[in-house]
Structure 1
Amino acid sequence: MPNRFQYNTKANPFVNVSDVTPVSPVPPVTPSRDIRFLPLFQVLQFDSLSCIGSSNDNGTCMNSQDCTGKGGFISGPCARSYGVCCVFMATCGQTTRENVTYFVNQGYPKSFDDTGSCQLTVHKSRPDICQYRLDFDQFSITGTS
């Protein structure tokens, strides 16, 4: 089969500019439909549902960055492992606005044998909150002397 492109050694290597016919530029080809790319990462958002942590503590299901950013600690997975069960604990002199927060004594889980008062400030997590519920896991006070 002969070569489609042949080099003519006898041709004049110089080209006269007047012999060249101008050609109009070829317009760029545009695709007939939009090209779409799938995102590399998908941002998952889900409602903050209650969950049970690995230590049997009640928590709130959220992503791990939100949990640590709000001062909680991760206590196992939730939402089919797309989220973490975040448990919040607060002690004397602290403030919380998380829906489920354990109010613990200083030095928890050791007992607190000191006398005096201990205060926790609770802010509404949403403006439509009109009451709070306190559940006591363990509570003891000393009698009168």
Structure 2
Amino acid sequence: MQQNDIIRIDVPAKFRYLNMIGSSIRAILERIDEFSIAPETIYNLQLAVHEVCNNIIEHAYGHEQGQIQIVVTIEWEEQRFLIDLYDTGTAFDPTSVADPDLSKPQVKGYGLFLARQLLDDLRYETTNDETTNDETTNAQNHWRLVKRL
């Protein structure tokens, strides 16, 4: 049984780093010799990560300082990629966002819808390390993006 490979990247939660995140995802996937990964699959993963990271920067952090930790796990036996995104910004309820009405074009609001279409699975959870007087501190948001080959 082959061990899973895990790659970690920490980046500031700023829009100017989105292209670097996408380039890193592409570079990781292009260097895997064991699988023949179609360029469209690599692009789709880049785009899905870009959209979720964009939402983290815009909605979880707003104009506050923060970090995004990206953990890419290559599961050799399962033949899939897991991309975990962690942040400590404001928690989010993904059920509060309806899919966009494609018959009524809009400028924003396609990110999660698009990511769901590009991935085999997209999950979100938040954990609270400590709750005091109804205020949560040290909360961690976790997005899991799954793509099978």
Alignment TM class, shorter chain as reference: under 0.3
Q: TM-score, normalised by structure 2?
A: 0.20
More helix by share: 2
Q: TM-score, normalised by structure 1?
A: 0.21
Relative contact order higher in (CA < 8 Å, ≥ 6 apart): 2
> Which of 1 and 2 has greater Rg?
1
